A and B are shown apart, each in its own frame.
Chain A
Amino acid sequence: MNANGNKSHLTIALAGNPNAGKTTLFNSLTGLNQKVANYPGVTVERKEGIWDLGDRSATLIDLPGLYSLDATSLDEQIARDVITGKVESVPRPDVIVSVVDATNLERNLYLTTQLFEYGVPVVVALTMIDVFEKRKHEIDIGKLSTGLGVPVIAVNAKADRGKSELADKVDELAGATPKVPHELNGGSPEGDNARIFARYNFISNAVQDSVKHNDKREHRVSEKIDRVLTHKVFGLAILVLILLTVFQAIFSWATLPMDLLDKGFGALGDGVRASMPPGILTDLLVDGIIAGVGGVLVFLPQILLLFLFISILEDTGYLARAAFLLDKLMSRVGLHGKAFLPLMSSFACAIPGIMATRTIENKRDRFATILIAPFMSCSARLPVYTLMIGAFFAGQTVFGFVSLGAVLMLAMYTLGITVALIVAFILKRTLLKAPPPPFIMELPPYRMPSIRTVFQNMITRAWLFVKRAGTVILAISIILWALMYFPRSVPPSVAGSQQGQVALNNEQRTTNNEQPAPLPEGEQLRNSFAGRLGHTIEPVIRPLGFDWKIGVALIASFAAREVLVSTLSIIYNVGKDENEQSETLISAIRDAKDDNGKLVWTPLTALTLMVFFVLAMQCMSTVAIVRRETNSWSWTLFMVGYMTGLAYLASFLTYQGGRMLGFQ
């Protein structure tokens, strides 16, 4: 009977409904011994850990939270493939542990009855038993086990109850051939609905004999809380307060650690530069690699904070309520209620916002949300807006008392939101067209969040970001560095020499004790590949009122929008450490003239540039995270393409329209 009795290492799958206590049990069984990756080719998360069964060990696979194995979602497909051993590098499970919430027995058991059909032994782990008993319900576990035909073990992950019993039972069942209860046997010919009916009938019979409910009204604690939290007035007010807190945290609280990281990497770069001989290697290390790594890590405070909030909101059960409150609004443009929080977060930064779309189960809804998230004016656009407003619209008012700067700022935010909604509306009717996915969603009972789960979730997100997006961001920042660094502008004394000698030149310098006066950075940038590219694209951006210098700044600020400010500073020779409020930079921009001696910048150019930055995909980190979250370069490139196209079109209309109206 026990064919696998001699197997020294087992594979166990952990299945269960969302909110059934599966994650808590998984953490408790595997400890810190876990790893998270993706299933090959898809974005479904693959979580595994090592579970010590006593005399042998097992790989515990945490399947995605599921209500059913029959339907067509990606999560359900993957779960089915794991159970049937179809996933590459994952052995077919020896036993399935089905996690069942005792307080919501019937619906939780539905998935369990489906698991019976796969020919793998099933053990039911009954969670939330403490809550169940506190409500003075009674359950006869022996009877339930007989009724279901599989072992049932009550577990309490926090109190370590039932853990060794569960391990023993799994160890014992490995290799056994289970039999399917005849009520469920051999799929009903009358169709899906009849099969669902048969499963619930089987469950009702098993539960009827083993459970005595004390008083049905006891279940309604969450409904009482919801009298306030999903109230027509208070519910919405509280939701706004919570969203404001989250927004405040990632917009404002995160800036302190972000500044520290920024300064830390700046200091590290300076230190390295001081202790190494000047040359290409040092420049690559400092301006390419250290700056690139710093550019990756600087996002961590925002990601950690956002996921702290999301994990708490999700674990307590509030996130489902937020979706419930907002679904009507979001569904008008074809989005799910759950899209609200990721979009809101994107006003601080699209990176954590796009990562947060994982709470949206339907792929098309999720992609639509990802594709419009970068239109929300993020914090990196503020320096651009501030510089332009400071240079051309400062001190002006509308109606005599409203600052023109504030009006323009508001207009930029509104433009982003409007375009996002229109794009979502169009996408949901074209590329991502599908019948509206059902909203049908459980509102789980309110629970205290587990601190451990919350922190583990935060760390996992942060690590996934560094590992996956970090590499792309680093690569792009090195490429951009090289575009601006090469070819080196040779010093006048060796003018005319071949480019190949430049490196040698640098080497030679190191032998001198006196460092030669560096060439003006502006000169270098103008002659670099990026500078030449600026000239190349000038005919294209001319109709927007931009000259090649602005073109260079556009190319450089693909690294991140705020880089526009430092690039303009370099190209106008005012030093790269000027910030967006610098008077020198502002006057340099105002006075900049083109080759014919005409002023480059007018208020109309500034407005056009702002419009361009609202809509253009000027952020390599967003590109990297979209690539990771969609697992597709074509969607990523589509996004870069259509955003840049829209930005160009809107800027064109702004500039040419403005000129037709008589503005300069």
Chain B
Amino acid sequence: MTLAELARGESRTVLSVRGENMITRRLMEMGVIPGVAVRMVKSAPFGDPLEINVRGYSLALRRNEAESVELEQVADNE
């Protein structure tokens, strides 16, 4: 599953960030890299963008950007 499908409040570990383009590089530079835990905080009132928590801070990103982040199959226990 991808980060775009993560349920609100759920937390999972990043498996991979697909592609080498401006968006994936930016995401990785912001700390979204394989092995790090991400938690879905909420989506904006019109359904997009999303707010996630990574490395203890809040990051907003659009749904289509979140689709390039593949997550582990199993949910993290917090």
A residues with a Cβ closer than 8 A to B are 67-68, 70-72, 103-104, 106-107, 110, 191-193, 196-197, 200, 216, 219, 222-223, 226, 230-233, 235-236, 320, 323-325, 327-329, 331, 435, 437-445
Jot down 28 A-B pairs with beta carbons below 8 A, ordered by A.
A70-B25, A70-B29, A71-B22, A103-B56, A104-B56, A107-B30, A192-B25, A193-B28, A196-B29, A219-B53, A226-B42, A226-B51, A226-B58, A230-B44, A235-B45, A320-B60, A324-B44, A324-B60, A329-B46, A437-B22, A438-B65, A439-B61, A440-B61, A440-B62, A441-B61, A442-B57, A442-B59, A443-B58
Are B55's CB and A440's CB within 8 A? Answer: no
Task: Choose from B22, B31, B56 the contact partner of A216 (Cβ within 8 Å).
Answer: B56
Q: Are B57 and A196 in contact (CB under 8 A)?
A: no
B24, CB-defined interface residue at 8 Å:
yes
A104 touches B55 (CB 8 A): yes
User: Interface majority SS on B: helix, strand, loop or mixed?
Assistant: mixed
Q: A231-B45, A438-B65, A443-B60 are in contact. List 14 more A-B contacts (CB 8 A).
A: A68-B26, A193-B25, A200-B36, A323-B60, A325-B44, A328-B47, A328-B48, A329-B46, A440-B26, A440-B27, A440-B61, A442-B58, A443-B58, A444-B58
A243 to chain B minimum Cβ distance, whole angstroms, is: 15
The CA of A226 and the CA of B52, in the complex, are separated in Å by: 13
**CB-based contact A440/B58 at 8 Å:** no
Q: Which chain A residue shows the least CB distance to B29?
A: A68
Contact in complex: A200, B33 (CB < 8 Å): yes
Q: Is B6 an interface residue (CB 8 A)?
A: no
B59 lies within 8 A of A443 (CB): yes
Report the minimal beta-carbon distance from A558 to chain B, rounded to whole angstroms: 40
Residue among A103, A106, A323 with the highest chain B CB neighbour number at 10 A:
A106
Residues of A contacting B17 with CB < 8 Å? 193
Q: How many A-B residue pairs have CB under 8 A?
A: 124
Chain B residues lying within 8 Å of A329, measured Cβ to Cβ, are 46
Assess the A440–B44 pair: CB atoms within 8 A.
no
- Residues B58 and A223 in contact, CB atoms below 8 Å apart: yes
A438 touches B23 (CB 8 A): yes
Taking CB atoms, residues of chain B closer than 8 Å to A328 are 44-49
| Contact flag A440-B30 (CB < 8 Å), given A232-B45, A325-B45, A327-B62 | yes
**Cross-chain contact A439 with B30 (CB below 8 angstroms):** no
> A196 touching B58 by the CB < 8 A rule?
no
The 8 closest A-B pairs by CB, nearest first: A328-B46, A443-B58, A232-B45, A196-B28, A68-B29, A439-B62, A107-B31, A438-B23
Report how far A323 CA is from B44 CA in the complex, Å.
Answer: 10
Residues of B within 8 A of A445 (CB): 57-58
Within 1-57 of B, Cβ neighbours of A (below 8 Å) are at 17, 20, 22-31, 33-34, 36, 41-42, 44-49, 51, 53, 55-57
Q: Let me know if B61 and A110 touch, CB within 8 A.
A: no
